Amino acid sequence: MKGIEKITNRIREEAEADAAAVIAEANAKAEEILGGYREQAKQLYNELHEAGLAEAAASAERKIRNDQLGARKATLGIKHVLVKDAYRQAHQEILDLPEEDYLELLTSYALKASSSGNEKVQLNEKDRARLGEKLIRQVNARLAEAGRPAGLTLDDRAVDIDGGLLLTENDISVNCSIDVLVDTLCEKLDRSVAGILFG
């Protein structure tokens, strides 16, 4: 799992650096826009004050607040895109793991998800061809080492998933695809990731 931690740390570092650059640029643009609006509002306020039009001054203040709110919304939108991009990068990094690290990841998912030890393992076509039998041997060996039933078999059919696996037995299927696992992590970690990227 050290490989995954290294990748996760590298992804986090790259995402933090990318996020910091994008946020700095967004903040600079927002400040530039706000600076222009502040100057315009100041001139408008002075003109209206001289003319005694207090209502127009209040309108200028509302415009500043609306522009500031718009700038904050734009910054939040950029942050949201960056967080989603960090998850997309993590997803791809997992799929691009070296074969042994990826095999170890699939093994850990199968071990955690297996309840009876007799499920069928379904993989996508690529993973089935390159890792299928090796995965089954490795998972069954570890199940046996743990004193659990070790009768997992490789399903004859490939499934349409990017990566990861499905465990099926009877009509019950446990989805350990990379898509589902990353989505689950997203739900659990959104605040933490946003804090890391923008904290």
Question: What was the pLDDT predicted at 71?
Answer: 77
Of residues 40 and 176, more confidence is placed in: 176
Nearest to 121 by CA among 101, 151, 149: 151
Instruction: Give the residue-averaged pLDDT of 23-38.
Output: 70
Phi, psi of 169, rounded to the nearest 5 degrees:
-150, 125
Residue 9, pLDDT above cutoff 80: no
Query: Residue 141: pLDDT band by 50, 70, 90 thresholds?
Result: very high
Residue 1, pLDDT above cutoff 60: no
- pLDDT one-digit tens code per residue, 176-187: 999 988 888 777
Question: What was the pLDDT predicted at 198?
Answer: 66
- pLDDT one-digit tens code per residue, 53-86: 567 667 778 888 888 888 778 777 777 777 778 7
Of residues 66 and 47, more confidence is placed in: 66
Nearest to 135 by CA among 145, 149, 118, 122: 122
User: Where are the chain's structural domains?
Assistant: 2-96, 99-184
Spatial distance between the Cα atoms of 76 and 54, rounded to a whole number of angstroms? 33
Q: Span 99-184: which CATH code?
A: 3.30.2320.30
